[in-house]
Structure 1
Amino acid sequence: MKEKTLTQTRQLRGLMREAAEKLAGCGIEEAPLDASLLLEYAAGVTAQDYLMDPFRELPQEKVCAFWEAVEKRAMRIPLQHITGVQEFMGYPFRVNEHVLIPRQDTETLVECALEKLEPGMRVLDLCTGSGCIAASLYLIGRKQGKVSRESRFEGADISEAALETAGVNCRELGADVRLFRSDLFEKVEGTCDMIVSNPPYIRRDVIEELQAEVRLHDPYIALDGHEDGLYFYRRIAAGAGSHLKQGGWLILEIGHDQREEVSRLLREAGFTCVQGKKDLAGLDRVVMGMYNK
């Protein structure tokens, strides 16, 4: 089928049909959408271009580029690793095998933090990964007038490779975020007004049940929440008090079934006004609390 496609099928409609069939046969849930996105990435043909002229023929070199991308996706390589980009909060973030691909669920965390953000705050993003949380807070906060000259935005991660990716994103997007290597609070000095984090929270015995795109291509270190998924929440709750000002906020992304346990950890560590927030799917996604010494 592939050889026939490369030599005979050049019309957009035929290419899209064959690509979608191939991806669906490999278990890709949104095969038509992925085929459309790969056509735009590899051949520069947008969905609007396709709708306007579905019988247009592509040059052979673009057909080859398109099918090379489709073959990668058929091997369950994440779409974002093929294109190298994932949109988050309206901004394009570069992604690779060293960082967790930003997901829409995490936008709930950013929205909660933006509600608490005020000019002059020092904001720390733990387990920053691609830098999408810290950079989005800075960029959107600046648009909303919540970032001043005194504001400080920082991102910490234990992975040097992740920090390199975050650095590229911050530079390309114009986000003034200081990045540094730290095992959670290990290298954090002083106190912050807000700490945000999307830490690893998948139970170790569940990781092997995840989709191949996640299980095989997202960094294991960004998924592994140890035996019960709460390992990093315990560490963050225990250490946050030493790095938050009185009245400072700790805002955490959680798994959909972890609200009760994480809320308890925050209360036991001296946090008040502990509350949760659901994502667009109606699932528990964020737990946050105010530190009260």
Structure 2
Amino acid sequence: MTTLKELLDYGKKALTEGCIENGAHDAWLLMEHVCNIDRSFYYVHPEKTVTDGTAEEYRLLVEKRKRHIPLQQLTGEAWFMGLPFYVNENVLIPRQDTECLVEEVLKRGSKAERILDLCTGSGCILLSILHELRSVRGGSVRGVGADLSAPALEVAEKNRERLGIEAELVQSDLFEMIEGTFDMIVSNPPYIPSGVIDGLMEEVRAHEPAMALDGGEDGYDFYRKIIRRAPAYLRGGGWLCFEIGYDQGKGLEDLLKEEGFQEIQIIQDLAGLDRVAVGQWKS
């Protein structure tokens, strides 16, 4: 029989030797996931034994993590804006940087009645926005999440159901299947230049969906398409809000100006890097 301590020691050693960044931390999280315990339980009961099946499941996940499969894909869960989202290999893993986008949307969307999230993926952006707004205003705000990927929409649907947050999900190539107008359009589109993708960390390059990463030769393909068509779907005074790359602020500012957006802002994240671009459509 194997004890919790022996299992954890194995995980820490294997992931550290496997050059996994924060390997010891990941070993902890995998143990919490497999054994359904927290750290306080471990510190009181480090010599508690686990079944052979549990030990084998843990070792298998450690070996997968050594192959740079993302931790969140192994546990099936990622936390975003204080909510637990289901994730798998068909969607981008929600990241803390993206919370900056949600926060900027909330600042401008206190009275929004209808919100569109393009390239919704796991649904974490839209569902988080709806959760926050409805906690203050009730159920009046409506949301639509659109994505070209059917497998991604299955993940978003699962998150909608598990979190109990009502939203419409549509399979659509950007605006193709979208009807009506909105007070806010938000998007975290693919924005990594095609030539840069091979240099990304293996967890991202090899295990997250390429179609959610590749923004074309210069990284701006989706921004151009969305900005060009957004005015037809925005109500007067509506906002267009993007997550952007750290070096894309000036480019987004120019694109928004060229299309006639006003009140344009480029917002930095906690690291001081460009992270969000917003513009208001006043026509």
Specify if TM > 0.5: yes
Distance 1:152 1:45 in 2: 38
Alignment of 1:1-293 (within 5 A): 10-119=2-111, 121-145=113-137, 147-149=138-140, 151-293=141-283
Residue 24 of structure 1, CA deviation: 1.7
Task: Please say if residues 112 and 183 of structure 2, whose CA atoms lie closer than 8 Å, have aligned partners that are also in contact.
Answer: no
Give CA deviations for 1:190-235 in whole Å, capped at 9, x if unaligned: 2110000000001111111111111111100000001100111111
Distance 2:219 2:111 in 1: 34
Distance 1:285 1:155 in 2: 21
Distance 1:119 1:183 in 2: 28
Amino acid at match of 2:36: G
User: SS in structure 2 opposite 1:51?
Assistant: helix
RMSD, matched Cα: 1.4
Amino acid at match of 1:197: S
Amino acid at match of 1:256: Y
Task: Please say if residues 112 and 184 of structure 2, whose CA atoms lie closer than 8 Å, have aligned partners that are also in contact.
Answer: no
Distance 1:21 1:118 in 2: 49
User: SS in structure 2 opposite 1:77?
Assistant: coil
Residue 185 of structure 1, CA deviation: 1.1
Give CA deviations for 1:227-262 in whole Å, capped at 9, x if unaligned: 100111111111111110111000100011101101
Residue 116 of structure 1, CA deviation: 1.3
Give CA deviations for 1:102-151 in whole Å, capped at 9, x if unaligned: 11111111111111123451100000000111111111111122x543x2
Give CA deviations for 1:150-188 in whole Å, capped at 9, x if unaligned: x22100011111111111110111111101011111111
Distance 2:225 2:39 in 1: 46
How many residues align structurally? Answer: 283
Q: Which runs of 5+ in 1 are unaligned?
A: 1-6
Residue 57 of structure 1, CA deviation: 3.0
Task: Please say if residues 244 and 274 of structure 2, whose CA atoms lie closer than 8 Å, have aligned partners that are also in contact.
Answer: yes
Amino acid at match of 1:279: D
Distance 2:100 2:125 in 1: 10
Misfit runs of 4+, over 4 Å: none
Which moved further from structure 2: 160-169 or 50-59?
Answer: 50-59
Task: Please say if residues 122 and 153 of structure 1, whose CA atoms lie closer than 8 Å, have aligned partners that are also in contact.
Answer: yes
